Amino acid sequence: MRALAAVGEARLEADGLVLRRPVPGDAPLVYRGTRDPLVREFLQAVIPHVDLAAAERWLAEVPPQLWTGGRAAYFTVVLDGEPVGWAELVNLDAADESAEVAVWLLPEHRRMRTATGALRLVCRFGFEWLGLRRIDAFAAADNMASQVMGAAIGFRRAGYRPALFRSSRTQRLHDAVHATLVPDDLC
Ligand SMILES: CC(C)(COP(=O)(O)OP(=O)(O)OC[C@H]1O[C@@H](n2cnc3c(N)ncnc32)[C@H](O)[C@@H]1OP(=O)(O)O)[C@@H](O)C(=O)NCCC(=O)NCCS
């Protein structure tokens, strides 16, 4: 597996959709995203930024630190020049050559297969740029959009994990569906 820190600039593009590394100017996106009820329901440990300045500070510090530390690859999803969402590879495991993926979009950009395109691009980054062997996804059992999106690009169901994570919004425990993707299945 190639070390994330060895990858400087990363930009992936397909069908008008671009994944690029986040910049402080993406503050309006992450400010809204971390306050969105579905993002907070279905992702763990999402802390809403108090204001745009806090989001800007977070963007300037945290994503570059995690990238150079080889811990997480965060991307802003840009559609026709506008930041519309977020894609990430976390829990990067060099020994296992694996990572975990998550994607979210601002609500007005959902249901148009943009998230499916973003998921495909971030998985391509994991396989083609980092040489990962496997990418895992854990979707809440009641998060059908996430499961359908994963299946559309080749994720296969690998298990059911009761009470796997807590909602950031309600602290309620979610059961999760574990799905996994290997390079040959990516479509
Ligand atoms: C999950 C999320 C990224 C999906 O975004 P999206 O723009 O709706 O995704 P897409 O349009 O690319 O594809 C979603 C698919 O799920 C389907 N879908 C959406 N909601 C559904 C539901 N409640 N039941 C069944 N299918 C559903 C869509 O019809 C689409 O399938 P299709 O392409 O065959 O029509 C978006 O809903 C989101 O940001 N949710 C909040 C954060 C989140 O849950 N992230 C995932 C964490 S693991």
- Average pLDDT of span 129-153: 98
145 C-beta neighbours (distance < 10 Å), count? 15
Give how many domains the chain has, as a whole number: 1
Residue span of the structural domain in which 180 resides: 4-185
Is the C-beta atom of 144 inside 6 A of ligand 1?
A: yes
- Average pLDDT of span 151-172: 96
Per-residue confidence (pLDDT) for residue 34, from 0 to 100 = 98
- Average pLDDT of span 165-187: 96
Ligand 1 centroid to Cα of residue 69, in Å, is: 31
Is the C-beta atom of 105 inside 6 A of ligand 1?
A: yes
Is the C-beta atom of 113 inside 6 A of ligand 1?
A: yes
Looking at residue 129, the DSSP 8-state letter turns out to be: I
Q: Is residue 8's pLDDT more than 90?
A: no
What CATH number does residue 126 fall under? 3.40.630.30
Is the C-beta atom of 149 inside 6 A of ligand 1?
A: yes
Query: With pLDDT > 70 as the criterion, what percentage of the chain qualifies?
Result: 100
Closest by CA to 87, choosing from 69, 67, 105, is 105
121 C-beta neighbours (distance < 10 Å), count? 23
Q: How confident is the model at residue 48 (pLDDT cuts 50, 70, 90)?
A: very high
